[in-house]
Amino acid sequence: MTNKQTTLIIKDRATGKTTQLLYTSATTQYPIIVQNHSQVKLLLDKANDLDLIIPVPMTVEECKNKYGMNYDHVLIDEGYNLIGEALDAYMGTHVVAVTLTDRVKEFADKKVVRL
């Protein structure tokens, strides 16, 4: 097991999660992984609208099959299904439920209290 940190970007719909991921991809040149090819096209169109140069996004299957490339780091857009599948594979059983604490909100709340 590794201790590499993963950042969860948890926000309401239409609040800039994908845009934030596109800027992260442009800065780091890490590819974005999505569920299907229509999402790949949407990301490429949005990156173009924002004048961002990003690696070509890949579907989950393309990433799993390595698609001729090997990346040490990837970004995932709308990852709920993938998280479930990954946990099932890791645990060797179906994971029915997972709880997550919104650490960003928790940190912000603590910061407000300290002021």
What's the token pair of residue 13?
Answer: 């719909």
Are residues 92 and 63 part of one domain? no
Q: Which domain holds residue 112?
A: 80-115
> How far does CA 17 lie from the centroid of its chain?
9
Are residues 71 and 23 part of one domain? yes
Q: Give long-range contacts, CB 8 A cutoff, 24+ apart: 93-99.
A: none
Are residues 70 and 89 part of one domain? no
User: In the chain, pLDDT over 70 holds for what percent of residues?
Assistant: 83
Are residues 103 and 70 part of one domain? no
Position 49 scores a pLDDT of 97
**Mean pLDDT, rounded, for 55-83:** 84
Residue 4 falls within a domain, yes or no? no
Are residues 67 and 18 part of one domain? yes
Q: What is the pLDDT of residues 13-60, one digit of tens each?
A: 888 999 999 999 999 999 999 999 999 999 999 999 999 999 999 998
Are residues 71 and 102 part of one domain? no
pTM for the full model?
0.78
Q: Give long-range contacts, CB 8 A cutoff, 24+ apart: 19-28.
A: 19/46, 19/50, 21/75, 21/77, 22/46, 22/47, 22/50, 22/52, 22/54, 23/50, 23/52, 24/75, 25/52, 25/54, 25/55, 25/75, 26/52, 26/53, 26/54, 28/73, 28/75
Residue 8 falls within a domain, yes or no? no
